[in-house]
Amino acid sequence: MRSSQWCAANCRPVHPDLVCEVSTNLELPHHSVSSLVAVGSRQARSRRAICARVTETGDRYRRRADAFETLITHTAPERWTSPSPCEGWLARDVVAHVVDYSGQVLRERAGMSEVSVFADFDDPAAAFAAIREVVEQVLDDPETPPDMANYLDLAVSFDLPQHGWDLAKATGQDPAMDPEEVELLLSSLFRAPQVWDWQRENGWYAAPVPVPSNAPLQDRVLGLIGRDPGWTPET
């Protein structure tokens, strides 16, 4: 099985069914002052809601990035060449994928040409810290369009807990995921099965791995996204 089947591969787009379209271009009626006031009030509420949503997206990315960064920080130097659950990838390659795919999204979606790549760094921690800083700058910028923030949320942020599990398994750390992230994955699997089918068809996720029905929820969810919760490095 190819590594792209185990982990989200480069150039993985977001399925259109997941992209939330937000519009603030409300057409103003002209028949009364009261209508203008009412519409203006709705526009203000809409703008506030959008700002709150973008802020929430940034905060969510920070929480996920904190967890991923902690795993990087606690990786022993000799474990960076350990195999990972992503076939063909070492532990170092998991971080390289996260860094380079995040950079690709920033270049293609945010028009940022000067974005560093993993190969620019000798240290995986420095590479992730650099790309994380840029992602957070975009998400914290009030001028960032909501659809771009949403794309970053789905294409970059959403993958971090999954790749955190990959890195933890590869480096002998605790692979327990945040229960909220497990619930979110489960909800996504059942709310948008067509999206997951589409990703499997494109080779970005493997076919589900059989897991006992009485297994912990995290194990069952990992099985559904093509990861073997019992994976261990070959000896």
Q: Is 38 a member of any domain?
A: no
Same domain for 61 and 159? Answer: yes
Residue from 103, 79, 102, 58 nearest 166 by CA: 79
Residue from 192, 160, 97 nearest 224 by CA: 192
Same domain for 156 and 188? Answer: no
Q: Is 133 a member of any domain?
A: yes
Give backbone dihedrals phi and psi of 29, rounded to 5 degrees, phi first: -75, 160
Lookup result for tokens 């904190």: 66
Q: How far apart are CA 43 and CA 2, in angstroms?
A: 48
- pLDDT confidence of residue 53: 53
State which residues form the domain around 161.
56-173
Same domain for 168 and 180? Answer: no
Same domain for 199 and 127? Answer: no
Q: Is 11 a member of any domain?
A: no
Q: Count H helices, E strands: the chain?
A: 9, 0
Same domain for 143 and 234? Answer: no
In whole numbers, what is the pLDDT of the chain averaged over residues? Answer: 83
Count of the separate structural domains present in the chain? 2
Model confidence over 93-135: pLDDT tens digits? Answer: 999 999 999 999 999 999 998 999 999 999 999 999 999 999 9
Same domain for 161 and 119? Answer: yes
Model confidence over 178-226: pLDDT tens digits? Answer: 999 999 999 999 999 999 999 999 988 999 999 999 999 999 999 999 9
Q: Is 227 a member of any domain?
A: yes
pLDDT at 51 over 70: no
Residue from 175, 176, 172 nearest 75 by CA: 172
Q: Is 7 a member of any domain?
A: no
Same domain for 90 and 148? Answer: yes
